[in-house]
Amino acid sequence: MSEITITVVPDESIACPGCGAYWGHPDPALDHPNRFKVDTFCRCYNPRCPVLYYDPYIGEVEVGTCEWFAACGNPATTVLEHPVLTLVPACERCAGLATS
């Protein structure tokens, strides 16, 4: 039987600009298997981060759409705790309404 060694290579250079998560982060809350998914875009796997894809080299970020209100459709800037849907991406306006 041969031994299988899985080497996790930490890659701080591709950390998410939204939350700082990368694969191998010493903080378990930020240790997500972020990696290249679409061309030069990485996918952020942090459920608490509104960033969907980002380009770590030019800093371009593609965020999710606000899901706080079904009719909103603004780009998400944060993630809110929803009583029913748990964590949902939300825009600044809805986040302000939700916390006021």
* Chain contacts with Zn ion (rule: CB under 5 A): 16, 18-19, 21, 44, 46, 49, 51, 66, 68, 72, 74, 91, 94
C-beta closer to Zn ion: residue 2 or 73: 73
C-beta separation of 68 from 98 below 8 A: yes
Residue (5 or 59) nearer to Zn ion, CB: 59
Nearer to Zn ion, 2 or 23 (CB): 23
Give phi and psi for 13, each to the nearest 5. -70, -20
State the Cα–Cα distance between residues 98 and 89, nearest whole angstrom: 12
